[in-house]
Amino acid sequence: ELIIEEFQNLKIKDTRLREKYGVSIVAVVRGDQVIPSPDPELELYLGDVLGIIGSKTQLDSVRAGNKQILDNV
C-alpha cells in the first residue's frame, strides 16, 4: 500500500505506474471505503491509499522513483 502526494487529482491511468514500473493498482482505500479493481478513470484524492501488486523489484522501483511516498505498509 502506498500514498503518493503527486498523484492527487490524477486519474489512475495518468499515474502511469504500470507503464513505468510494471505494477498494477488493485484497490483504492478512500476513508472507510475500499474500491476493489478500480476503473482507470477513477480520480485519486489526497489521502487515498493505493493497493498495488508487483514483484519485489518492481515495488522497490516504485519506492525509489517516488520521493513523495508518505506511507508504505
pTM (predicted TM-score): 0.81
The rounded radius of gyration (Å) of the Cα atoms in the chain is 11
Give tens-digit pLDDT for 61-71: 888 877 555 44
Give tens-digit pLDDT for 15-54: 999 999 999 999 999 999 999 999 999 999 988 989 999 9
Cα separation, 60 vs 54, whole angstroms? 10
pLDDT score recorded for residue 62: 86
pLDDT score recorded for residue 73: 44
> DSSP assignment of the chain, as one string?
-EEEGGGTT-BHHHH-HHHHH--EEEEEEETTEEEES--TTPBP-TT-EEEEE--HHHHHHHHHH-TTEEEE-
Inform me whether the pLDDT recorded for 13 exceeds 50: yes
